[in-house]
């Protein structure tokens, strides 16, 4: 029995040693597995870090690319050519690429014939022009002349040996700086001396003529000078004050600002009448521009927006300011009763008029061309091709202008030449867009043009419609020049007053009217409309005023 117990103890001892060995091996393996897990976790962590860094690098690369494009655009604005017209290296290469386009045979043939005729007409019109020699024009005959006689020295006319020939005359254009003078209005008074005959008015005083600003010493001529200098010549008020000081007249800035506000208030009814006239037409162009305004609560300059509405046929314009907003609600309220053609750029707020009955939205090819011109450095092949096709459309317009076509004939020419080119160009955009990066400049240009293509192509329907909105942009240019000089408007109220002045002076420019003469006449005569409701304020608008003075020069 003792021998059996010894064997059992030996077996148990061996089993325990084996188990202990296995435990140690298991613990060792567990440590190794744990190390492997840490490596895998660390590997996953590194891979995630690499992925995050790659994403950051891609975002930074996109930002760098965007900033580089902005820098290129700014350098182009500062140093590049101002003309947006694209001139291809080889003008004979203005062809339509039909490869891969889903065009019907009739459409392809019409497009080929149209582009062929446009190119051939342009080649015929190229005429070599000789170099022009500068010619000094004579000074205007209506300017007053002050004669200055100069006689040669040592001539004794009394001896009778000299005969005077025709003198040599040299005209010099002289200038005298502006001057002030005081207009004294002396109202004579009379009293009735005959005491035997009673009278209701024993003292009679001559009536005071209507003054622009009743409680001010500023005359119509001075107010006109101030307004024209600021809103036509772009001289801020503080510079005008400095100029007045040099002439011996000191006007406080607060007084001058009050005059500006009161003048704008006086002209506001005429401004509202102008709005009615513009919105009653059936073809307008609308655009918006920035104007710096001081925010009263933040006490800093913020970007405000001023809206321009222009009639193409009547050539009248007005500006609208609504708290500096560019929101859709502004244009909805502004054009809520309008019926007719509405030409704009691709700004999204105008898209609602696609569904409004009685309104025909038109696009602007100049804005589309600008997008492709900006993409020229990124993708010269596609952008250059697009610019060539848009150039063909403008060639048709130049031909219509050169031949002085009527509206009906111009519409027929567009339908025959421009429309087939536009159809082929639209299908080219559909083919090329999937091949480019959507966020690239060429992708944005293709997307912008395609989204509003239905608006862009409608101008061919009526010969009155313009191919672009450039006339409206030219009307906005004085605001762009003004904000570089007077820098900002003091508040929203001042910006609204500026819109009034800009509107009326814009009409003066369109009508070819002398700004100062017109405003002096209006300020002198606008009070005659206060109580006489048989008169229409539209008579004072520049175009109507010009018609009056041409018919009766004494009106001035």
Domain coordinates in residue numbering, the chain:
1-54, 101-120+364-468, 232-361+473-556
DSSP state of 457: G
385, 89 in Cβ contact below 8 A?
no
Q: Tokens at residue 44, please?
A: 């996953």
Buried b (16+ CB within 10 A) or exposed e, 426-436: bbbbeebbeeb
* pTM of the shown model: 0.77
255, 437 in Cβ contact below 8 A?
no
- Cα gap 456→363, rounded to integer Å: 4
Residue with tokens 């009685």: 358
| Rounded to 5°, angle at Cα 512 from 534 and 553 | 55
CA-CA distances (angstroms) from residue 505 to 29, 140, 508? 92, 25, 5
- Cα gap 121→552, rounded to integer Å: 46
- Cα gap 234→352, rounded to integer Å: 36
226, 277 in Cβ contact below 8 A?
no
So what's the pLDDT on residue 515? 94
So what's the pLDDT on residue 100? 52
Residue 290 phi/psi, 5-degree rounding, is -85, 150
Element (H, E) at 362: strand 359-362
Q: Tokens at residue 74, please?
A: 């700014």
Rounded (10°) CA dihedral 456, 457, 458, 459: 80
- Cα gap 441→204, rounded to integer Å: 78
Question: What 3-state class would DSSP assign to 497?
Answer: helix
399, 382 in Cβ contact below 8 A?
no
So what's the pLDDT on residue 99? 54
477, 475, 454, 458: which is closest to 466 by C-alpha? 458
Question: What 3-state class would DSSP assign to 288?
Answer: strand
Stretches in the chain below the pLDDT threshold 70: 1-6, 34-35, 37-39, 73, 76-109, 122-135, 296-298, 486-488, 553-556
Q: Tokens at residue 322, please?
A: 């609504």
C-beta atoms surrounding 250 within 10 Å:
9
C-beta atoms surrounding 371 within 10 Å:
19
């Amino acid at each position: 029995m003792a021998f059996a117990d010894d064997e059992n103890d030996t077996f148990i001892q061996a089993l325990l040693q084996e188990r202990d060995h296995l435990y140690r091996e298991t613990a060792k393996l567990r440590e190794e597995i744990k190390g492997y897990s840490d490596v895998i976790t660390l590997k996953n962590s590194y891979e995630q870090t690499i992925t995050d860094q790659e994403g950051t690098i891609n975002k930074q690369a996109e930002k760098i690319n965007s900033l580089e494009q902005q820098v290129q655009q700014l350098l182009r604005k500062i140093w590049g050519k101002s003309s947006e017209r694209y001139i291809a290296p080889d003008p004979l290469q203005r062809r339509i690429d039909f490869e891969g386009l889903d065009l019907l045979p009739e459409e392809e043939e019409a497009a080929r014939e149209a582009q062929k005729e446009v190119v051939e007409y342009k080649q015929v019109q190229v005429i070599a022009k000789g170099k022009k020699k500068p010619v000094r024009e004579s000074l205007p005959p209506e300017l007053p002349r002050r004669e200055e006689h100069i006689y040669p020295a040592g001539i004794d006319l009394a001896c009778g040996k000299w005969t005077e020939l025709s003198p040599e005359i040299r005209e010099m254009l002289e200038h005298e700086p502006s001057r002030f003078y005081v207009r004294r209005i002396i109202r004579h008074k009379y009293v009735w001396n005959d005491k035997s005959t009673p009278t209701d008015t024993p003292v009679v005083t001559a009536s005071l003529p209507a003054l622009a600003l009743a409680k001010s010493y500023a005359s119509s001529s001075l107010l006109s000078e101030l307004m024209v200098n600021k809103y036509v010549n772009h001289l801020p008020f503080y510079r005008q004050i400095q100029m007045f000081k040099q002439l011996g007249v000191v006007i406080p800035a607060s007084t001058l600002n009050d005059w500006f506000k009161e003048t704008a208030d006086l002209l506001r009814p005429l401004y509202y009448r102008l709005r009615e006239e513009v919105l009653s037409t059936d073809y307008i162009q609308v655009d918006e521009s920035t104007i710096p305004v001081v925010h009263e609560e933040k006490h800093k300059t913020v970007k405000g927006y001023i809206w321009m509405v222009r009639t193409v046929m009547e050539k009248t314009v007005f500006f609208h300011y609504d708290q500096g907003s560019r929101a859709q609600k502004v244009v909805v309220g502004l054009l809520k009763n309008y019926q007719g053609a509405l030409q704009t750029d691709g700004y999204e707020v105008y898209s609602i008029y696609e569904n409004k009955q009685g309104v025909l939205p038109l696009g602007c090819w100049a804005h589309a061309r600008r997008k492709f011109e900006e993409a020229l450095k990124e993708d010269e092949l596609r952008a250059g091709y697009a610019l060539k096709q848009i150039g063909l459309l403008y060639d048709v317009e130049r031909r219509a202008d050169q031949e002085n076509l009527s509206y009906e004939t111009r519409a027929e020419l567009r339908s025959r030449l421009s429309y087939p080119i536009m159809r082929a160009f639209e299908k080219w955009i559909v083919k090329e867009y999937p091949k480019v990066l959507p966020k690239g400049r060429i992708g944005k240009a293709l997307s912008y043009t395609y989204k509003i293509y239905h608006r862009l192509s409608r101008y061919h329907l009526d010969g009155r419609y313009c191919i672009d909105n450039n006339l409206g942009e030219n009307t906005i240019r004085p605001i762009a020049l003004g904000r570089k000089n007077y820098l900002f408007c003091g508040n929203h109220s001042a910006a609204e007053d500026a819109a009034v002045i800009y509107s009326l002076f814009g009409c003066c420019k369109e009508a070819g009217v002398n700004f100062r003469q017109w405003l002096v006449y209006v300020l002198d005569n606008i009070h005659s409309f206060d109580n006489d409701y048989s008169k229409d304020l539209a008579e004072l608008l520049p175009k109507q005023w010009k018609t009056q003075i041409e018919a009766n020069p004494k009106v001035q």
